[in-house]
Structure 1
Amino acid sequence: MSDKQINDPVYKTDALIAEDIDAYLDMHQNKGMLRFITCGSVDDGKSTLIGRLLYDSKMIFEDQLAALEADSKRVGTQGQEIDFALLVDGLAAEREQGITIDVAYRFFSTEKRKFIVADTPGHEQYTRNMVTGASTADLAVILIDGRKGILPQTKRHSYLAHLIGIRHIVLAVNKMDLVGYDRDIFDNIVRDYREFASEIGITDFTAIPISGFKGDNITVAPSDNTPWYEGPSLIDHLETVEIANVAAQARSFRMPVQWVNRPNLDFRGFSGLISDGEIAPGQQVRVVPSGKTSTVKSIVTMNGDLDRAVTGQSVTIRLEDEVDCSRGDVLAAADDPPESADQFESTLVWMSDEKLIPGRGYWLKLASQTVTATIAEPKYEVDVNTLDHLAAKTLDLNSIGVAEVTTDRPIVFEPYSDSRQLGSFILVDKITNATVAAGMIHFSLRRAQNVHWQPTSITRENHSAMKNQKPAVLWFTGLSGSGKSTIANLVEMRLARMNRHTFLLDGDNVRHGLNKDLGFTEADRIENIRRVGEVAKLMTDAGLIVITAFISPFRAEREMVRNMLPEGEFIEVHIDTPLSVAEERDVKGLYKKARRGDLKNFTGIDSPYEEPEKPEIRIDTTAMTPEEAADFIIGKLIP
């Protein structure tokens, strides 16, 4: 068969066709992947642009195209033109209002590269959705309506994109068809944006004049309508820009351990996604934070062992030695491991309708690590429009601020500027399990590195043995007027008669000294309980049975104290009294003041009380006298 026949589809054999298909599939399987977002202000044409990219890259099936044409006519697009935004705006509310609300992810491909694009909303109230889309992006396309120029939301999204670590910015001046493809308008917008960009640290960006609706400079450049533009088309730029994995691969090896793979007694490996660098059998690795070292024995995947694994691959690594390593640890290059610390300065993007409560415990999730974290009062909040640093005591929805974060144990990290994987985290509300913030670590605080735990010769076990008792914290919680202090005092008296070593911490008493600087706001209540918890922990270290009587209205703070103590030493005692009964007693007259509005943030009136869900002991004060309640608690404590 001649060369002409081989290259002519008519003469191709089944074997040659299969070979061509394999080559085609192999080419597309090994193409690089670029993740990018489109962002900007409302109605800048983000969804239309993505729809145009999908359409021009032939990523729309015939039935989708027919449905798109029908939808375009139904929603009122002029003439027979296609409304490309309908390809992306899938929510009914989005189509009704003509806006983007949720983040829409779309996939398309060209001969050179595969793409995942996130269409992010322009409305300020949906800024948190934009942050979600930007968190994994390598590039941001900032759209500007050529008729409007730079708007506040343009600045906000540019600031967020740079803050999150996106270093490739495309300034797409859209709707050039509506301004007559005027070069002066384009140049003026680029000049204004460059001036703003330099203020927030964006030193380089690519500006392209486009029309998402007409297709100018999207796939082919220059458009006949912009003969004055000599740069690349948008798709040309997207196909050639450097992918983040290339830079990450040049860094030292890092792999957060997702799980320990132990299918049988003869196999033990550590599975995870390589976040930075590369690894090969025979290389030395270090387990962080323990510091133990070993040598890579093999790199296992479902398709067989590898001679080398790189950034972005999910693998199981087997080591030569039986080192202690579990989920949350990080395997790293032995000669260049990451840091571990428990205090950081971080930037927070607040994403919840519920404002930040300084001192409250949140779940912090970084890579495969989950710890409890508390946030200090913000150092400042950033005004994205002016870039001013504003004084702030908390953070509201879509606020951006800088604050100190403290975790309950050291975590492995790197500054966000070095590693997006080990430098970023989310905060999760412990009660609702809702993600409330995204955070980026700047650096660990010096005191976290300079302050070390000083071991002592006499341990808590020694103290406990000397007193011949098991230390514990009896944590009485309930409404004001429920009888906590009365019952707690009776319990201590009975324990004293039994020669038990005790100490009673009463809510009113500690506010005369230790906590005299605290008020009754939600943040102050949290700090009040945190301090009492630390004192109670020290007293149990001394071998004492500690009795506390605090309203302690929030479950999260009671759980915070529970987590300070060894398993079984925190005994939650719910003094369960209906609000109406507590209000009838009102020995101190507090409820009357609260009802008149003279006493703000009073639990049960204008501040909530979260009842314990599973207390170790529950006392129904409508069915027991204080003496009976004390006897019942002693019976549970000392059978």
Structure 2
Amino acid sequence: MSHQSDLIASDIEAYLHQHENKDLLRFLTCGNVDDGKSTLIGRLLFDTNLIYEDHLAALHKDNERVGNAGEALDLALLVDGLQSEREQGITIDVAYRYFSTEKRKFIIADCPGHEQYTRNMATGASTCDLAIILIDARRGVQTQTRRHSFIASLLGIKHIVVAINKMDLMDFSREVFDNIRAEYQQLADKLGLHNVHFVPVSALNGDNVVKRSERSPWYEGQTLMEILESVELSRDQNFTDLRLPIQFVNRPNLDFRGFCGTLASGVLRQGDTVMALPSGKTSKVKSIITYEGELQEAYPGNAITVTLEDEIDISRGDELVHPEHQPNVGSHFSAHVVWMGEKPLVTGKEYGIKLGTKSTFGCVTAIQHEIDVNSLEKKEGSSSLDLNSIALIDVELTEECAFDSYSELPRTGAFAIIDRLSNVTVGAGMVLKSKDHADATAFRRTYNLAEVELNAFIRKNYPEWECIDISQTQANVEKNKKG
């Protein structure tokens, strides 16, 4: 069935080892309605021989009943699984598909093109590394093209592939391709999208999707699959700023207390000095434990349990960081938000806020401006936000939390807004910057570093002494500053 079937039959352990060590690319397809997003994904699966025979047989039966590709096989049915999607020939919910090639594993998110399902697109894009934006060669850049491109830039997706689809209907005209490319490039420049690839394709016929097309001899670039297999992802990782959001405190017996979480960024090593936020207490890493055993060091994406040399109070929602690379700690920040609720956002109303692993409460104190995604103009004076609106807002939390700017560290700079009565997620936010505690954060960092250095000196030269806790001193100084 796939390129690895021979290896599976001859050496299953070698196959599993090879598959385990491939890197993973998460990408989404988006664009206007009927641009061919689902068909493109179906073509990728079909041309890479990753469809089981029974699934293919079922596809042929469904094609006779609800297919929309004439005599050809409607590959969109591989992705559009909901009955309402097949009846209308559209994508409503985000559909996920998984496949692999010799070089890489993939998770695809097929996002809907209708404006009313923009919130679904934002949800699907939130974990993706790359976005394929489809453009119908007959229509060029449309409203949803701009909307989805803006959301992709807002969510920090660094790699964009513009697939200009249905080129077969335009006789693979180079002029059409160049005009659309020039138009989209202007939009990309406004949005700050730098790594953009353009590919002329026919998803229905497979031109330049997996195999190079003979009908576009003027195109000398890579096929879509070649781009997906070769795009560089390692540079997107942050290995400098340690962020370990605590998901669970593991206390199986009196002799063990471990702090569990998935490393969001940075590198954690045994013996590292770490700080717990928002408390500011410090300790050293005693061990890093995983399901397979202990590690000397952990990297982003590793699910780990950390034990510390000192007994300090750490709970779910706290964060372990290196003292020299701290996030913001505060209760006020500015953020971009995509509003997903059927009911409008109300300023001053208390919502649940899910910031990383931290669950707290807060409210939107002000809407700085709403963004028109078609013209990218800013509209000030809004008092509420309707479904699918995008705006820059001010948020106030009921307690201090650790957070980062989304553009620098997406995993610790994203948050969800939750309606307290229905428990439904009504907004997706991306922290822009801290609104307060700028001086206090710098002050806290200075004193925390002083505490780390002083305690290290005491441990080394005067082991019989007790290490000091200057947090009380810090609190007194802050109190005196205010007074």
TM-score of the superposition, structure 1-length normalised? 0.66
What secondary structure does 1:236 align onto? Answer: helix
What secondary structure does 2:237 align onto? Answer: helix
Choose the corresponding residue for 2:432, options 442, 446, 465.
442
Tell whether 2:43 aligns with 1:52.
Answer: yes
2:366 maps to what in 1?
Answer: 377
1:387-420 deviation line (CA, Å, top 9, x unaligned)? 1111211110000011110000111000001111
The one-letter amino acid of 2:245's match is P
| Aligned ranges 1:102-251 → 2 under 5 Å | 102-221=93-212, 223-243=213-233, 246-251=235-240
Range that drifts further, 277-286 or 35-44 = 277-286
Task: Check the 8 A contact 1:377/1:394 in 2, yes or no.
Answer: no
The one-letter amino acid of 1:108's match is F
What secondary structure does 1:426 align onto? Answer: strand
Range that drifts further, 182-191 or 246-255 = 246-255
2:266 maps to what in 1?
Answer: 277
Task: Check the 8 A contact 1:249/1:310 in 2, yes or no.
Answer: no
The one-letter amino acid of 2:161's match is V
1:595-615 deviation line (CA, Å, top 9, x unaligned)? xxxxxxxxxxxxxxxxxxxxx
What secondary structure does 2:346 align onto? Answer: coil
| Aligned ranges 1:161-560 → 2 under 5 Å | 161-221=152-212, 223-243=213-233, 246-391=235-380, 392-446=382-436, 449=439
The one-letter amino acid of 2:406's match is Y
- 2-structure distance, mates of 1:289, 1:22: 45
Task: Check the 8 A contact 2:331/2:396 in 1, yes or no.
Answer: yes
Cα separation, partners in 2 of 1:183 and 1:290, compared to 1, 3 Å: same
1:521 maps to what in 2?
Answer: none
- 2-structure distance, mates of 1:404, 1:122: 29
User: What RMSD, in angstroms, separates the aligned Cα atoms of the two structures?
Assistant: 1.8
| Aligned ranges 1:44-123 → 2 under 5 Å | 44-77=35-68, 80-123=71-114
The one-letter amino acid of 1:233's match is T
- 2-structure distance, mates of 1:17, 1:189: 44
- 2-structure distance, mates of 1:94, 1:251: 44
1:512-568 deviation line (CA, Å, top 9, x unaligned)? xxxxxxxxxxxxxxxxxxxxxxxxxxxxxxxxxxxxxxxxxxxxxxxxxxxxxxxxx
The one-letter amino acid of 1:53's match is L
CA drift of 1:248 comes to 2.2
Task: Check the 8 A contact 1:357/1:394 in 2, yes or no.
Answer: yes
CA drift of 1:17 comes to 9.1
Unaligned ranges ≥5, structure 2 = 1-5, 442-483
Task: Check the 8 A contact 2:68/2:89 in 1, yes or no.
Answer: no
Task: Check the 8 A contact 2:371/2:379 in 1, yes or no.
Answer: yes
CA drift of 1:220 comes to 2.2
The one-letter amino acid of 1:290's match is S
TM-score of the superposition, structure 2-length normalised? 0.87
Tell whether 2:19 aligns with 1:28.
Answer: yes
What secondary structure does 1:379 align onto? Answer: strand
Task: Check the 8 A contact 2:329/2:437 in 1, yes or no.
Answer: no
Cα separation, partners in 2 of 1:263 and 1:79, compared to 1, 3 Å: same
Cα separation, partners in 2 of 1:441 and 1:220, compared to 1, 3 Å: same
1:564-584 deviation line (CA, Å, top 9, x unaligned)? xxxxxxxxxxxxxxxxxxxxx
CA drift of 1:290 comes to 1.1
Task: Check the 8 A contact 2:330/2:436 in 1, yes or no.
Answer: no
CA drift of 1:81 comes to 1.9
CA drift of 1:29 comes to 1.0
- 2-structure distance, mates of 1:332, 1:171: 38
What secondary structure does 2:168 align onto? Answer: helix
1:349-406 deviation line (CA, Å, top 9, x unaligned)? 1001100110000000011101111102311100000111112111100000111100
The one-letter amino acid of 1:197's match is A
CA drift of 1:70 comes to 1.2
The one-letter amino acid of 2:190's match is E
CA drift of 1:449 comes to 4.9
Which one has a larger percent strand, Structure 1 or Structure 2? 2
CA drift of 1:204 comes to 3.2
1:70-122 deviation line (CA, Å, top 9, x unaligned)? 11121244564210100000111100000000000100100000000000000
- 1-structure distance, mates of 2:69, 2:123: 34
- 1-structure distance, mates of 2:275, 2:400: 17
- 2-structure distance, mates of 1:342, 1:123: 36
- 2-structure distance, mates of 1:125, 1:242: 33
Cα separation, partners in 2 of 1:397 and 1:355, compared to 1, 3 Å: same
- 1-structure distance, mates of 2:439, 2:417: 23
- 1-structure distance, mates of 2:50, 2:348: 50
Task: Check the 8 A contact 1:342/1:448 in 2, yes or no.
Answer: no
In the alignment of these two chains, the number of paired residues is: 436
Task: Check the 8 A contact 1:288/1:332 in 2, yes or no.
Answer: yes
Task: Check the 8 A contact 2:67/2:74 in 1, yes or no.
Answer: no
Cα separation, partners in 2 of 1:450 and 1:252, compared to 1, 3 Å: closer
